Amino acid sequence: MIIFNNGKYKSILAAESGELAEIAQTVQKDKDFRPHFHITPLTGLMNDPNGLIFDGEKYHLFYQWFPFDAIHGMKHWKHLITKDFQHYQSADDLIPCELFESHGCYSGGALKVDDKLAMFYTGNTRRPSDNQRVPYQNLAIFDLDGKLLSKRPLIENAPEGYTEHVRDPKPYFTENGKIRFICGAQRENLTGTAIIFEMDNLEDTPRLLGELSLPAFDNTNVFMWECPDLLKLGDKDVFIWSPQGKDREAHQFQNNYHATYAVGKLTDLTFEAKYIGELDQGFDFYAPQTFGGLDNKTHSVLFAWIGLPDLTYPTDKFKWHSALTLPRELRLEGTKIYQRPIAKTYENLTALSTLHLDGKAEIADLDRAYVKFEANNRAFNLTFFQNEKGQSLRLSYENGLVCLDRNQSEQTELMEKFDSKRFCEMENLQTVEIFFDHSIVEIFFNHGEKAMTSRFFIANRSNIITTQHPLNLTFGYLPTIHFC
């Protein structure tokens, strides 16, 4: 075991006595933005969800974590176990302590193999002579109680024809029981793709089968595919991935990077897509991953990072950064994915009440509330919250277009760089559901036809809601999640 401690490439094993407790005290100074029912790091930065696996009884959830600051430093995998997505227990983390992960444990996925959990992940390393990145694809074995048993490298270096940007292995079983995993990759001509490896079993050496072909996707200007995820959903194949470099558009693909899905048929290495779309059209949604180990006959379950690469947030000064979405149920309506929070989320709603709003009202704990209303395909214009600085969050709909506007809220320079409005085309908007959680908003239209996930920052806010059109609103509240 090696204890790495080189600037931002610092392992949690190198933490000094009381260091993390002191950072936690800084985190607790944030009285405005820490969520109640979303998973956030105790300290430091979180990003991609990793290693999502249902072991037959419990759900194992990992996430990318740098515990020391709100920066992308040495990545660990923080490990949580839950049965109900309400109570979480810590288990063994994946901590970089070997040469094949010397600069961090990058993203990956999981597979249940007999009575073991196999975590496939990318080991980030750098060659000492010239600081060149050298990627490893690694395998860590856990037992069903969450104890780390072993880890080893599977592949050193990127395959011929690809740059050092080969990462994020997501495993799955073939119909004949072989193990495959798909990695995001960049070709030597600096275009993005995904490549697939195969193993006979966990002791085998992976063999490169080739690239995933996705003819229907416009890969123009895309320089990297991240976080690929191949799965069955009902009787269809689904491919979820995060292409980097895709041109931004007026009403979709509006962020600097995107989360995309394709629905169709996978034959050998060719994915014939019947539909390609964006998973979420808010400001902050990236690197989604579905759980392995589920039968996916009617739905799958997904987490995503409420954040984006290369962004800073106002909470960074409190030494914490980002959160995960609510667990979402994915189902197919024809060839399109619909997504909503899992059924358990709705079962946990309490203090449900209704209000006819015509003008302005103060709603108790609006900043941690569930809000639902029927739009009936009519225009609306809602303003949420206010403070002495005149800050607020706005949601409107007119002529088939939803607009989420955070212009009148606190933003960092990098947030402002990518504009302050996000749009979502909804030809026939009937139902709107909103989950507020202090600095997070997750919005679902028409029972999951479209979604918009975002951060927003309004300090010292009053829980005021204002409407320009009369509406009947339903309110409810979710309990705080618990960690032990």
The residues carrying an active-site annotation are 48
Helix (H) or strand (E) holding 200: none
Helix (H) or strand (E) holding 403: strand 401-405
Dihedral Cα 294, 331, 480, 471, nearest 10 deg = -170
Alpha-carbon span 420 to 411, nearest angstrom: 9
Tokens found for residue 297: 């006959």
Burial class from Cβ neighbours inside 10 Å (0-12, 13-18, 19+) for residue 31 reads exposed
Alpha-carbon span 378 to 398, nearest angstrom: 7
Q: Which of 130, 179, 157, 124 is closest to 9 using CA atoms?
A: 124
The three-point CA angle 270-274-276 to 5° equals 90
C-alpha distances in angstroms, 351 versus 87, 365, 447? 21, 12, 21
Alpha-carbon span 95 to 53, nearest angstrom: 19
**Contact call for residues 321 and 63 (beta carbons, < 8 A):** no
- Give the residue ranges of DSSP H helices in 287-441: 343-347, 413-417
> What is the C-alpha R_g of the chain?
22
